[in-house]
């Protein structure tokens, strides 16, 4: 990953660590329930939570695994996640600084890798997937969740622009076929895939990334000025005064290392 992109990620998340720990949408949800159910049905002594953010996925997996390693690129995020997990008394979760595209672990050292709401920030997602394959034991599982890229190219370009204006470290949300190709190329076989919807409350979503009032009103003008079909693709709810919410889709994938 380039130094410039790493700095962008760290600048975005370093100042938002407390907001990610407090985020109700990260602390719970249908996606987390599904990942946990997938994990509970497998051997799960050693779990890696990749790009742990506020530590919500690591914390829940700490309840069903012997040991969880929670890795993140952003030091202040790791500190906030460590504190969050410590106050919930999960002593089997340890924290490590690192980059998804060069994981500091030996081959085959995990039974399960989780990666939730993070891969759209990775500069080179194919490299990250190869690293996940390398650190999983044969038969080990990747449990992945991320924002799903839209199949319509105009709607996809519109939403990418919305995402990047809110968070310049957003790289790309991939379509289901793209995810399957990344995983297949790395030697991971998709066993299950599910798509779910998530409502994003605009004030919370823009506030969590500390948008200035000017940047936020420019983004709202961009949304209002976009073609109706692009807004409809994400079910944007607008009143005369404000943007209320939109709806995005998330992909969940369970894949096994060959
Ligand atoms: C939205 S948060 C993750 C949420 C978390 N997984 C959860 O379940 O609540 C995204 C995280 O990805 C991390 N991140 C982004 N790029 C990364 C990379 N290349 N390697 C490791 N972590 C990265 C950021 O620092 C940030 O903490």
Taking only the tens place, the pLDDT of each residue in 84-125 is 998 887 889 999 999 999 999 999 999 999 999 999 999 999
Q: Is residue 207 part of a domain?
A: no
Residues spanned by the domain of 84: 3-150+168-199+249-257
Q: Is residue 21 part of a domain?
A: yes
Which ligand 1 atom lies nearest to the CA of residue 56?
9
CATH number at residue 175: 3.40.50.150
Q: Is residue 77 part of a domain?
A: yes
What is the pLDDT at residue 236? 97
Distance (angstroms) between ligand 1 centre and the Cα of 72 equals: 6
Mean pLDDT of 33-44: 97
pTM of the model: 0.96
Angle subtended at Cα 251 by Cα 150 and Cα 237, rounded to the nearest 5 degrees:
55
**Measuring CA to CA, which residue among 147, 126, 145 is closest to residue 49?**
145
Q: Is residue 227 part of a domain?
A: no
Rg, C-alpha atoms of the chain: 18
Q: Is residue 100 part of a domain?
A: yes
Q: Is residue 178 part of a domain?
A: yes
Q: Across the chain, what does the average pLDDT equal? A: 96
Q: Is residue 56 part of a domain?
A: yes
Distance (angstroms) between ligand 1 centre and the Cα of 253 equals: 17
**Measuring CA to CA, which residue among 129, 131, 159 is closest to residue 144?**
129
72 lines ligand 1 (CB under 6 A): yes
What is the pLDDT at residue 89? 79
What total number of domains does the chain contain? Answer: 1
Question: Is residue 1 pLDDT above 80, yes or no?
Answer: no
Distance (angstroms) between ligand 1 centre and the Cα of 167 equals: 13
Q: Which two tokens stand for residue 103?
A: 């994981």
Counted residue by residue, the chain has a size of 258
**C-alpha–C-alpha distance, residues 255 and 258, integer Å:** 9
51 lines ligand 1 (CB under 6 A): yes
Condensed to tens digits (0 to 9), the pLDDT of residues 177-232 reads: 999 999 999 999 999 999 999 999 999 999 998 899 999 999 999 999 999 999 99
Cα 249 versus chain centre, distance: 13
What is the pLDDT at residue 115? 98
**C-alpha–C-alpha distance, residues 107 and 164, integer Å:** 34
Condensed to tens digits (0 to 9), the pLDDT of residues 131-181 reads: 999 999 999 999 999 999 999 999 999 999 999 999 999 999 999 999 999
What is the pLDDT at residue 88? 87
């Amino acid at each position: 990953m380039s130094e410039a992109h790493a700095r962008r990620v760290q600048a975005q998340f370093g100042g938002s660590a407390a907001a990610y720990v407090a985020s109700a949408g990260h602390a719970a949800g249908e996606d987390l329930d599904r990942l946990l159910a997938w994990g509970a049905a497998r051997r799960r002594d050693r779990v890696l939570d990749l790009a742990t953010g506020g530590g919500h996925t690591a914390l829940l997996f700490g309840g069903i695994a012997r040991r969880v390693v929670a890795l993140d690129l952003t030091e202040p995020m790791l500190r906030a996640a460590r504190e969050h997990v410590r106050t919930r008394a999960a002593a089997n979760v340890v924290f490590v600084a690192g980059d998804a595209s060069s994981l500091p672990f030996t081959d085959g050292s995990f039974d399960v890798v989780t990666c939730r709401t993070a891969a759209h920030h990775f500069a080179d997602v194919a490299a990250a997937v190869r690293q996940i394959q390398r650190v999983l034991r044969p038969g080990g599982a990747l449990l992945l969740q991320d924002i799903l890229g839209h199949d319509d190219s105009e709607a996809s370009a519109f939403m990418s622009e919305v995402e990047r204006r809110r968070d310049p470290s957003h790289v790309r949300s991939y379509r289901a076929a793209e995810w399957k190709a990344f995983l297949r190329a790395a030697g991971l076989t998709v066993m299950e895939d599910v798509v779910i919807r998530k409502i994003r409350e605009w004030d919370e979503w823009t506030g969590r990334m500390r948008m200035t009032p000017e940047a936020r009103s420019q983004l709202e003008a961009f949304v209002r000025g976009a073609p109706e079909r692009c807004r409809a693709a994400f079910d944007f709810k607008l009143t005369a005064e404000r943007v209320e919410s939109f709806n995005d889709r998330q992909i969940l994938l369970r894949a096994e290392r060959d």
